[in-house]
Amino acid sequence: MAMAPGKRGAWKLAVRLPTLTAAVAPVFVGAGVAIHDDVFEVGPAVAALLGAICLQIGANFANDVFDFKRGTDTPDRMGPPRATQMGLLSSKEMLTGMWLAFALATAAGVYLAWAAGWPVVAVGVASILAAIAYTGGPWPTGYHALGDLFTFVFFGPVAVAGTYFVQAGDVSTLAWLASIPIGCSVTMILVVNNLRDIPTDRTTGKRTLGVVLGDRGTRVWFVLLAAVVGAIPVIAALTGMTTWGILALPVGTWWLKAPLRAVLAGVEGRALNPVLNATARFNLMFGMAWAVALAVR
């Protein structure tokens, strides 16, 4: 029997390092558009990145403890292990970690509010509330088929346009457009997660969009999101908004092949865990390529 990790290992498990790519890619894209528009500022860009990572860690801690409290993290769970459910960390410890992560995100937000004004405060408060409300509170959005929508909004338009705003003081049309494929690619990670968990979520009463759409519908939803990711760089090029943005497509296509093939082949259950990681890698690699391509005039 494998030995249980110590406290340090338990916190590392709870942080869920592979998921942090979802926080990194949108900030890089926002910075890429800022470079393209010649409004890039190092300080706000770095603060936005640190704030986004802390928000993601706080959200991971929140999901860990609130799913445990609601009884949805059962021994039948097919996803990666959760620290609270395994008894590695208490609910009190996890909640403390959650508030600490959000406090660090707030510290970055204070600097960003000083640099860019009060809209940053509104975005920061909304982001923290959304992270908690995903699995916590009286009406968790993740339990009412709204997880995909909130994921797209906060990891797409909010994160990308927000990163651009703290540097430029406004948001360009290109920044809004650039946020769409990133929001979709992050949402694809959640779609694979929900696809894997459809049987157990149905049993525990967790009504994700995957449960609503069913197995086949969820796979179709994954493909549609991938199609949007591919379409936006083409639209940006055809409209003359960015000359080189379309060069992100070969990179995205390369990293999308494996997860797309698995989803279309009907892979299910725990076999989707590697697909989840592959989709996260696709999000990161496409995001980096999209950011670099956007930065070039």
- Which residues are CB-contacts of 38 (< 8 A; sequence separation ≥ 6)? none
| Calpha distance 48→33 (Å, rounded) | 14
- Which residues are CB-contacts of 216 (< 8 A; sequence separation ≥ 6)? none
Ordered by where they begin, the domains of the chain are 18-295 (1.10.600)
Residue pLDDT tens, the chain, 297 long: 344 578 889 999 999 998 899 999 999 999 999 999 999 999 999 999 999 999 999 999 999 999 988 888 766 677 777 899 889 999 999 999 999 999 999 999 999 999 999 999 999 999 999 999 999 988 999 999 999 999 999 999 999 999 999 999 999 999 999 999 999 999 999 999 999 999 999 988 899 999 999 999 999 999 999 999 999 999 999 999 988 889 999 999 999 999 999 999 999 999 999 999 999 999 999 999 999 999 997
What is the pLDDT at residue 153?
97
DSSP assignment of 219-282: HHHHHHHHHHHHHHHHHHHHTTS-SSGGGHHHHHHHHHHHHHHHHHTT--GGGGHHHHHHHHHH
What is the pLDDT at residue 180?
98
**Helix (H/G/I), strand (E/B), else coil: 78:** coil
H or E element, residue 200: helix 173-204
What is the pLDDT at residue 30?
98
pLDDT in tens, 274-289: 999 999 999 999 999 9
| Calpha distance 289→242 (Å, rounded) | 14
Count CB neighbours of 9 within 10 A: 13
**Is the distance from CB of 11 to CB of 83 less than 8 angstroms?**
yes
Q: HEC states along 5-71?
A: CCHHHHHHHHHCHHHHHHHHHHHHHHHHHHHHCCCCCHHHHHHHHHHHHHHHHHHHHHHHHHHHHHC
Two tokens, residue 238: 């055809």
**Helix (H/G/I), strand (E/B), else coil: 45:** helix
**Is the distance from CB of 192 to CB of 276 less than 8 angstroms?**
yes
What predicted TM-score, i.e. pTM, was given to this entire model? 0.94
pLDDT in tens, 213-247: 999 999 999 999 999 999 999 999 999 998 888 99
What is the pLDDT at residue 1?
38
What is the pLDDT at residue 78?
79
**Helix (H/G/I), strand (E/B), else coil: 199:** helix
| Calpha distance 162→165 (Å, rounded) | 5
Helix axis angle, 273-295 relative to 173-204, nearest 10°? 170
